[in-house]
Amino acid sequence: MAVDRLRFLCPNGHLGFAPLKVESFDLGVATRPDFILADSGSDDIGPVPLGSDTSTAPKEWQRHDLEKMLVAARRLGVPMIIGSAGDTGANSRVDLYVQMIRDIARQHGLAPFRLAYFYSEVSKDLVRSKMAGGETVAGLDGRGALTEDDLDATDRIVAVAGVHPYMELLERGAEVIIGGRSSDAAIFAAPAIRAGFPEPLSYYLGKVLECASFNAEPYAGKETVIGEITRDDVKVTAMSPYQRCTPASVAGHAMYERSNPYYEHFAGGMLDMSDCSYEQYDEKTTRVTGPRFVPAEELRVKLEGAGKVGERFMGFAGVRDPYTIGRIDEVIGWARRQVEERFGTPDEGGYQLHYHVYGRDGVMGELEPLRHRPAHELGILVFGIAPTAEMAEEVTLTGTRQMFYARLPDVKGTAGGVAFPLDEVVRVSPAYRWTLNHTIRVDDPLELFELHTTEVASGAAVAR
Amino acid sequence: MSADMPARPRRLAELAKTIRSKNAGVDRVTFDVIFDDAANYEDVKRSGVLTRETVAALYGVPDSRITDFVTFDPARAIKFTMLRSRPSGSPGDPDIFGCQQYAPLLDIEVLPPSRRQER
C-alpha cells in the first residue's frame, strides 16, 4: 500500500462505561483521521456481566458514543471499528450494538454502508471436545489447566480475538465493524498491519491508544487522542485543550492495568516495549520508537469464562460498643454457627456466607496491615449465597440478624448487640466467578470467531 | 539528589506523584508508584524501602504472591503485581477493580540518605 502514514482517532477507553467528551472528539474529527475506533470491553467489571449476559453500561451511554462515532465516520467516509461490544463482547452484546448502528443509520438517513460483525462466544462443547482430543486448556496468571468441573460450572465463554477477524472483515470491505471480545490493542493494530505498517509499531499503536486519554496528562478520562503510525514511529497527540501527551504520560500508560510495563501478549505474539524511546515531538505530541514484536511459536487464544455460584442476598449491621468491636469475630462466629445449625457447614449445605467488616478490614481483607486497630464504629456487610433465592435469603437473614443475639460474656448492652439501619435483607445480582482465565491452541486464527457482513441501506439492513 | 534533601524521614506519599492499585487481569492486582521528580525517584529506588520483600511483608503475604517487581525509568515508576486472594468480583472479593489496595504504601517512611545504609 502506498500510504506512508495513517491516523487513528480514539475517543473512549471503555465505550459505554461513561460517555465520551464531545469537545475533544469534534476537534479530533476536524483533523480528518483515517479511522475512528474504540474498545468497549473490560474484564475489570467482574464476572457478573459475562455470566449473566448483561452490560454494566447503560444503553443511553453506549448509544451516545456509537452515534457520535458513526455519524462522524460516515461523514468522513472512513472505517469505524468497535471491539468487545457491550463490556463483555458476548454475542448478545454484539447484536445489541449492530442493532444500534442500524437504528442510528436510519435515524440520520446515512448513505448505505457495509456493516460487519463477529461473534466471540465459544461453546462448552467445543472446549470439551478439544480437551477430549488431548488439548490442554492452559491456565494464565498461576491458574492450573482447565478442569472438567470448572468447565461444567461455566455459563458463558468468550474467546479474546487478536487482529485476525478485524483484518479479514476489512478485507471484505467492511466500513463499520462491531467486534466480539477482543484484545484492546488488536482493534487498532489490525488496520495498520493490513495497510503494510510494521507489526511492532502497529501493536504498539494499539497499546498506546486503547484507553484514549489515559495516556495524556493531566489525568482525564473519555477525552479523544489521535495516534499516527508511519514506518518508523508512532506519534500520539491529545485533542483536549486541557491535555498533552508527554513521554512520562505515554510511558506511564504502558504499565496501566498490566502486570509488567514491558511485555504485552496477544493471540499470535508478544509486544516487547523494553527498548521503547519516548520524546516530546511537539507541545501535545509524544513520539515513540523502538517497540519489538515476538511472534508466538504456536497460536493460542485467551478464553474468559464466568459461571454462576448462586443467588445472593445482602444484609447490613453497625456496631458502636467498643467491647463488641473488640470481639467482632466472636459475634460473627456466633452468627455463622446459627446458620450452620440450620443448614450445616457451607460445604455440607452448598452455601456461602461472607462478612465485610468496614472500619476494620472491609476494603482490604487479610491484606489490611491495620486490621488490629478497628475504628470506633464498624459497618458489617453480609452476603449470603445459595442455590435458591429462598435459601440465600434465609442464610443472609440468619447471618445478619443473629449478630444481634451474639452471646458475649461481659457486654453491658443486653438489648441487642448490633444496630440495624434496615431490618431486612435485600436481593442483589446472583454471584458469579471467573471460571476461565486460560488459553487454547488453535490451528486457524479465525476458527473460534463467526464472521458476518451485511449492507446497511438507508432505512434497513439486508443480510448477505 | 537534590542538595536540600531534608534530614527527617519522609512518607512515600510526599515523594511520589501517583500511588495507585488496579486489576491486572482477573487474578492479579498491580501497584504503581510514579514520581514526577527524578531525584525522588532515584532516591526511593536506592533507599531499599520498596522491594519484593518489603511489599510482601507490608501486605502480610509470602514473597511468592508478588509476581512482578520492576522499576520503569521512562515513567519514573516502581511497579509490582500481586496475586489476588480470590479473582476479581468473586464471592467475598471486596474490591472488584482492585483500586483501593494501595493505601498502606502511602505511609512508608523513606529515611534521608545520611540515616540509612545504602543497599
The residue of chain B with its CA nearest to that of A246 is B75
The answer to whether the Cβ–Cβ distance between A47 and B90 falls below 8 Å is: yes
Kindly state the average pLDDT of the residues A432-453.
97
Q: What angle do CA A80, A217, A237 make, to 5 degrees?
A: 40
Q: Residue A135 pLDDT > 70, yes or no?
A: yes
C-alpha distance from residue A296 to each of A62, A79, A80, A218, A225 (Å): 35, 29, 29, 36, 30
Q: Residue B105 pLDDT > 80, yes or no?
A: yes
Q: Which helix (H) or strand (E) holds A235?
A: strand A234-238
Which comes out higher in pLDDT, residue B117 or B29?
B29
Using a CB-CB distance cutoff of 8 angstroms, which residues of chain B are in contact with residue A364? 94-95, 100-101, 103-104
The answer to whether the Cβ–Cβ distance between B75 and A356 falls below 8 Å is: no
The Cβ-side half-sphere exposure at A285, using a 13 Å CA radius, reads: 12
Q: Residue A35 pLDDT > 80, yes or no?
A: yes
Q: How does the average pLDDT of chain B come out, rounded? A: 91
Kindly state the average pLDDT of the residues A278-299.
96
d(CA A216, nearest CA chain B) in Å: 12
Candidates A367, A395, A428, A437: best to mutate against B (most CBs of B within 10 A) is A367
Outline where A237-281 has alpha helix (H). 247-253
Kindly state the average pLDDT of the residues A281-298.
96
CA dihedral A363, A369, A371, A377 (to 10 degrees): -60
The residue with cell 514484536 is A293
Taking only the tens place, the pLDDT of each residue in A351-404 is 999 999 999 999 999 999 999 999 999 999 999 999 999 999 999 999 999 999
Q: Which residues contact A288 (CB under 8 A, 6 or more apart)?
A: A204, A208, A233, A234, A235, A236, A250, A276, A277, A278
The answer to whether the Cβ–Cβ distance between A252 and B25 falls below 8 Å is: no
In this complex, the residue of B72, B79, B94 whose CB is nearest that of residue A365 is B94
- Using a CB–CB cut-off of 8 Å, the residues of B that contact A are 18, 22-28, 30, 32, 34, 36, 58-61, 67-68, 70, 72, 74-77, 79, 81, 83, 85, 87-97, 100-101, 103-104
CA dihedral A104, A108, A110, A114 (to 10 degrees): 0
Q: How does the average pLDDT of chain A come out, rounded? A: 95
User: Residue A464's pLDDT band (boundaries 50, 70, 90)?
Assistant: very low
d(CA B115, nearest CA chain A) in Å: 26
Q: What angle do CA A251, A304, B79 make, to 5 degrees?
A: 25
The residue with cell 446497511 is A456
Using a CB-CB distance cutoff of 8 angstroms, which residues of chain A are in contact with residue B55? none
Kindly state the average pLDDT of the residues A136-157.
96
Taking only the tens place, the pLDDT of each residue in A176-202 is 999 999 999 999 999 999 999 999 999
The predicted structure's pLDDT at residue A257: 84
How far apart are the C-alpha atoms of A276 and A288, rounded to whole Å? 7
Q: Which helix (H) or strand (E) holds A434?
A: strand A426-441
Q: Which residues contact A356 (CB under 8 A, 6 or more apart)?
A: A362, A365, A380, A381, A382, A383, B94
